[in-house]
Structure 1
Amino acid sequence: MSSNEALFRALDSVIDPELRRPITELGMVGDARLDGTRAEVTILLTIAGCPLRSTIEADVRAALLTLPGVDQVAVALDVMDPQQRAALREQLASRRTPFSDPASLTRVIAVASGKGGVGKSSITANLSTALAARGFKVGLIDADVHGFSIPSLMGINQNPTRVDDMILPPVAHGVKVISIGMFLDSNQPVIWRGPMLHRALEQFLSDVYFGDLDFLFLDLPPGTGDIAISVSQLLPNSELLVVTTPQSTATEVAERAGTIALQTKQKVIGVVENMSHLQMPDGSRMEIFGSGGGAKLSESLSDQLGYPVPLLAQLPLEEALREGSDQGTPVVLSAPQSPSAMVLSALAESLGQRPRGLAGRSLPMSIQ
């Protein structure tokens, strides 16, 4: 192997932190040569203001210093020209919604609730993080445009990077995340009606480059409004996970969020009961919001939809879950041995048990 080939082989291990692909595959290595014990390389950034340029530079240095005989690395950072960026866009994405393709192997899970305040967003953030920690490729769309909270829950302060008309989502805890909150200068309200909400979701699905995903989660707004309908239209293969609390009022409202599947033809994969109980110091449980709501909702949805809708998990009311959310580190990472983290990890494990495959799908075959 020549010295230049060895440099490129080493750079194969450097992954672009936004695109999650090797920089050699993305055409980001402009030149690489070895001068004695000094490696010299030019890296072509997608845009001049790339927010992760220092990360890329550090990773390039670290990769080249692993080569025998290399003790110095000089990294020059340059920028792709318009033709190179156009070639990159052509390589990465097309102007369509890839997850709506019936042949897509990405499992799309929309997390819904009847009312706000039941912990739907925290559960979505933790499930996506737990699956990413298990090696799955995971994307997360904050579809709650009016009440977005995913950036805070995931600890994201970075804005998305734009490569012309393609958006590269920030990555947090191994999850590619997009939210309308990333495009606002401050905590200003979003005052939009139905058509604009539909278009925002459509752009998240078509303009944002997620790459190949095993799972795509959508944190839906409460209720059965515009976004819930748009999700069923734009992502007809999506599944619903319904979140409730044990309280009877919350359960009744959550039932509406689940039975929307009768009209949208989505499948409800299960129910998660949050704030199920508070563990007391003496080992007893205090059921602050009552009991049995999740089981009741599971039974009701099963009867109305005509197939089993299991109660998948019951989450305790726990300080660690709230602390992780406030800190931007989901509890499955910040306190993995806590009761809530263990329940969420077990739920993620069960969701990850269903492999991606071609079972039940039509293959493009014709008889000549």
Structure 2
Amino acid sequence: MSEILCEWLNQEVKTSQTVSPKSFAKAFSSGYLIGEVLHKFELQDDFSEFSQSSVSSAKLNNFSRLEPTLHLLGVQFDQKVASNIITEKPGAATKLLYQLYTALQKKKRSGLTGAEMQTMQPLSTMRLQNMKSEAFRDQRLSRRRQNEIMAKIQAAIIQIPKPTSNRTLKAIEAQKMMKKKREAEDVANEIMEFEALLKKDLQAKESTPKASLDTAAQTTADLLSTYSDDDYIKKIQKRLKEDAFAREQREKRRRRLLMDQLIAHEAQEEAYREEQLINRLMRQSQQERRIAVQLMHVRHEKEVLWQNRIFREKQYEERRLKDFQDALDREGALARQAKLEFEEQAIREREVHEHIAVERAQALYQKHYLACAEILDQILDLSTKVAEYRLLTNK
């Protein structure tokens, strides 16, 4: 049967993808080719919304759009059939395509368009099929939403490390404290050495101006003989400015170095305090993490229960609609049966009436026949008597 369907699809319908018996289930698993077949028969107006992608959302979109058209053609299609086709269950796509082929051949022979077939369909059946289609779509969306929530919960679950023993924690804290103390002592020693160097530099600075003054006096005496007063004063001023600028720069570098060391020391202390605070909070928040995970599980279970309740209500509604439709169908069947029985009774009564009429006609004919025969016999008797009388009387 699959070979006949492949020949019909490849030669008569001429689908965009060549179909073979081996790849039959895979070719129709997305529902795109089914929509293309219906579109070629002018039954799927929204074929532009179909997708050839193999992701679950695209397949859901395709089969959701196919369901009303397949129900319009009278093809049996529901969630189970769609799931079997999507999972490439053997024989599922072949069975659906055979039903579709039969329905399309009937449509071709009848010459009806999709709009005409839809107008000829009973209103209650159309509503029921639309509601089933919406229920199918909502169920798939709720299942997809449930899977996404489960994935988020699995991703959000925190792997809580096992608490170490008290001895190990105390030893680690003691090592950290000893390390911090050594670092603090090293910083303090460096600061003391820096302060000592700073004092030496200050003492050297105090002695330098005196020596520079003596040298300047001697130099002044030597230069008075060779230079004028203006040149000498300018050189002195220039040298003093250079010395002052150099001292300023040295002071700035010393202050900057001291500030950097102080900032680094404060940053180390702040990092140590933050680390201690984080460790304390981590120990305190382990129970909070467990509670958060449990709360997330509870919320997920609540969401699942809510989705299941909505799904059950939709099933109950579908069941009520189906029962209502079945009751309508039964009443219609009973009405048709009563009509047939009434017609049969009328035919039987007509036959009895005709039979009685025939019998009455025959009885009337017999009555008239007997009366005519009796009259004829009397006429014959009279004629015979008249003849005898004439013979006897010679008249």
What range is the shorter-chain TM-score in?
A: under 0.3
**Larger-gyration structure (1/2):** 2
Give TM-score, length-normalised by structure 2.
0.18
* Greater fraction of residues in strand: 1
* Greater fraction of residues in helix: 2
Q: Which has the higher contact order (CA 8 A, sep 6+)?
A: 1
